[in-house]
A and B are shown apart, each in its own frame.
Chain A
C-alpha cells in the first residue's frame, strides 16, 4: 500500500496514540495495527493472547535465526469500578498514574456509544479551608458524564475501559505530546523498522511484536508469551525512556532529541549493546547509554527469561512526563530508533551466537 510510504513518524504517532487499549482490552488497537503492519510486513498474525506479529522473512538459508522486536500496544487507563447515585463513576487504574495529574482532565468512556466525561473538581469558591493543600487520591476522584443516572447505568457496565482524552498536542521543534506515547511510540518504531527492512533484507527472520498487557504490572504478559511462542535467538524491546525534566536527577533521564537511549545493565546482553553502538556510529547517529542497574522495566525483562534464556537489549525513545496525559516525544528520535534497528538487524550475521562455548 502506498499509504504507509507517505506517513511520517509524526503522522503514525498521532494516529496510533489516538487508539484506545488498556491492558487486556487491546482489540481495537490490535485491529488497526494488523492493518498497519499489513502495509509493511511479509506476514501478519495475532497470537492467542492478542499480540500482533509482523514478519520480515530473512534472505539467509533456512532454518534461519530469528530476532524478536517487542513494543507494547497497551496503554495505561482506567476501568469503571462503581456507579454512584447521580450517575457519577468511580474508576480503578490499570497501570500507574500519579493521581495528582488527573483532576479536571477529560476522559473517554469506551462504552457503546463512547461518552466523554471529566474528572470532577470542586471549584475554589466551595472548597473548605485547606482543601487545596491535600492531593485528591484516585479513590476520591469521580467522573461526571453530564448525563442522567439512568442512561449511565444502562450504557456503562462496571469494567468499561476509560482512557485519558487528549488529542495530540503539537509543540515547537516538531515535538508531540499525547497520552499513550508509552509505548505507542515504540509501536511506531516497529512499523518504521519493518518498512526499512522490506527493502534492506536481513539474513535473519525478524518478527516485530506489538505486545499486550505490559502495563498490567504482574508480568509483561504479551512479551513473555510471544517469546515462548517464537523462541527467538535474540530479543529487543523498544520502549520509552524518561526524558529530561525538572525534578529528575541526572542519570535517570535522557534529553529529548538525543537519539536512541541504549540501556545497560543485567537485562542487556553486552554484545548486542556493543553492536547497536557500532551501528549508531556507522550511521553517525547520536545515542545515549541509559543505566538500568536493577532491570529495564520493559518487555525485555520477560523476553530474557523466556524459554532457556534469550539475549536481550532495550532501545529507548526519550519521553517526558511519562504516565501523564502529555507524554512528549520528538518524532526524530522515533526515526532514529528505526534506522538504528534496521541497520543493526540487516548487519546480523547467520553465524552470530549468544552462547559462548568455552571448551
Chain B
C-alpha cells in the first residue's frame, strides 16, 4: 500500500516488538528494541523515571531556517506494556500461582501456554481433564486465582531457582502474516508503538516528542508522568483498539472493523476528544483519501485521558489501528490499517505546522 508521501510503516518493528515480552512494569525488552529503532533518528532519547522512553525530534534545519511557522509541539504517545501475568507464589510441588496484570478474561487461561521471564522458559496453565470434572463444574468459570502455572518443576526449590516470585509471563504467541492479516500478541499497543517508531524514521514537519509509555494497562500511569515532563501543545495517542466484529452481533456493536482504516475516538471512559483537533484529523483523512471509521464511543480508555488533563490542559486525540481479540493470546490486525495510520498522522502533523490552533 502506498505511503502517500508519508513514511512507510515498518512491519519489521511490529514483528519484533510483538514477539518480545513487556508486561506492565516490566517493559525493558520493548524499550530496548524501540530505543534501537529510534537512536539514530532522533535528537534526544531518554528513559524517564518510570521507564517510559522519550524521544525528541525536530523538523529539519532547512525547514527551521526557512523562517516559516515552527508549529506546535506535538506529543505522540503509544504504550509499550501489554497484559500478562505475574508469578506470586511457588507451591511445594513446584507449581506457580499467579495474578493477572491488566484486563484478562479468566476464560482464556486454562490450557494456555506462557513464556515465563526473559529466558526461554515455558509454563502451561493446567486444566482438569473432562473425564475427572464433575458435570456441574463445567458450568462454572474457574477463577483466575485458582489456576496455576506448571513449568515442569518437581519441587519448590527447583521452581524458585528458575522463577523467582515477581517474574512476569506473557502469552506464548508468534507473529505471523497471511494476506493483509497479521497475527500476534500484544497488538494493544505494539501496533501503536510500531506506528510511532515508523513515523520518527523521518524528521517530522513539527517538533515532536515521541513517548513510548509504561503501565497503561494498570491505570494509564506512565503517560500521566510523561506528559508533565513533555508539556506538549497537542497530543495524539496511537492505539490498538478492539473491533466489535462477531457473527450475529447487532450492527451497531460490530464496529470498528479490521481493515477499514484508522479508528477515530470521539469519547471514551477517560476522554472527550478535543473537537478542533478531531475535525483537523478528519479533514486531513478526507484530503489524503485515508479511510477512517469511528471507534465505538464510550468504551475503554487510553493514555490520552491523562495527557489531556496534565498541566494547563492538552488538546488530545486518539487514533487507533483496529485489532480483533486484543487482551487475548492471538490478536489480528490488517497491515494496511497500520500504514494508513502512519499516513494520517504524518499529514495531520503537516497541517498542524501550517495552522494551529
Contacts and interface: CB of A to CB of B under 8 A. Distances in A.
B72 to A, nearest CB: 31
A252 B132 contact: yes
A125 B110 contact: no
Interface stretch (A31-39, A242-250, A264-272, A342-350): A242-250
Given A104-B108, A106-B330, A171-B150, A328 B141 contact: no
B128 A146 contact: no
Interface string B306-340: 00000000000000000011111110100000000
Given A100-B142, A104-B328, A321 B105 contact: no
Contacts of A245: 126, 128, 150
B103 A242 contact: no
Interface stretch (B3-11, B60-68, B151-159, B345-353): B151-159
B133 interface: yes
B108 A326 contact: no
Nearest to A120: B325
Contacts of B121: 172
A286 interface: no
B244 interface: yes
Given A104-B112, A125-B299, A169-B172, A177 B328 contact: no
Nearest to A87: B247
Interface of A: 84-86, 88, 96-106, 115-116, 118, 120-127, 132-136, 142, 144, 146-148, 166, 169-175, 177, 242, 245-248, 252-253, 257, 297, 320-326, 328
Contact of B113 (A242, A252, A297, A326): A326
Nearest to B182: A146
B242 interface: yes
B265 to A, nearest CB: 13
Nearest to A123: B242
B127 interface: yes
A132 B111 contact: no
B106 interface: yes
B128 A121 contact: no
Interface in B253-307: 253, 296, 299-300
B113 A177 contact: yes
Contacts of B36: none
Contact of B110 (A101, A126, A133, A297): A101
Nearest to B112: A104
Given A132-B105, A172-B158, A328-B150, A124 B327 contact: yes
Contacts of A247: 128, 132
Contact of A146 (B140, B150, B183): B183
A246 B95 contact: yes
A119 B103 CA distance: 18
Nearest to B121: A172
A121 B329 CA distance: 10
A100 B127 contact: yes
Contacts of B325: 104, 118, 120-121, 123, 144
Interface string B110-152: 1111000000011111111111110000111110000010111
A177 B327 contact: no
Given A104-B108, A172-B151, 4 more contacts: A98-B129, A98-B138, A103-B108, A321-B127
A246 B147 CA distance: 9
22 contacts: A96-B131, A98-B110, A98-B127, A101-B127, A104-B105, A105-B112, A106-B173, A118-B328, A120-B324, A123-B105, A125-B299, A135-B107, A135-B140, A146-B179, A146-B181, A169-B124, A245-B150, A246-B126, A321-B128, A324-B111, A326-B124, A328-B150
Contacts of B299: 125-126
Contact of A133 (B129, B138, B141, B247): B141
- Please list the 6 inter-chain residue pairs (A to B) with the smallest Cβ-Cβ separation, ordered nearest first: A171-B152, A104-B108, A146-B181, A172-B152, A101-B111, A322-B129
A253 B93 CA distance: 15
B248 interface: yes
B217 to A, nearest CB: 11
Q: What interface size band does chain B fall in?
A: 35 or more
Given A101-B110, A325-B111, A169 B122 contact: yes
B245 interface: yes
A356 B183 CA distance: 63
A116 B178 contact: yes
A124 B139 CA distance: 20
Residue of A132, A172, A248 ringed by the most chain B CB atoms within 10 A: A172
A242 B105 contact: no
A171 B125 CA distance: 12
Contact of B105 (A96, A115, A121, A175): A121
A257 B151 CA distance: 15
A134 B247 contact: no
B327 A320 contact: no
B246 interface: yes
B176 interface: yes
B16 interface: no
A172 B162 contact: yes
Contacts of A297: 131
A328 B154 CA distance: 13
A84 B129 contact: no
A169 B129 contact: no
Contacts of B300: 125
A118 B95 contact: no
A150 to B, nearest CB: 12
Contacts of A248: 128, 132
A40 to B, nearest CB: 29
B103 to A, nearest CB: 4
A173 B154 contact: yes
A142 B247 CA distance: 8
A85 B328 contact: no
Given A123-B328, A135-B107, A171-B122, A322 B131 contact: yes
Nearest to B104: A124
B171 to A, nearest CB: 8
Given A169-B172, A321-B124, A103 B129 contact: no
A180 to B, nearest CB: 13
Given A123-B326, A172-B158, A321-B124, A326 B141 contact: no
A223 to B, nearest CB: 19
A28 B246 CA distance: 33
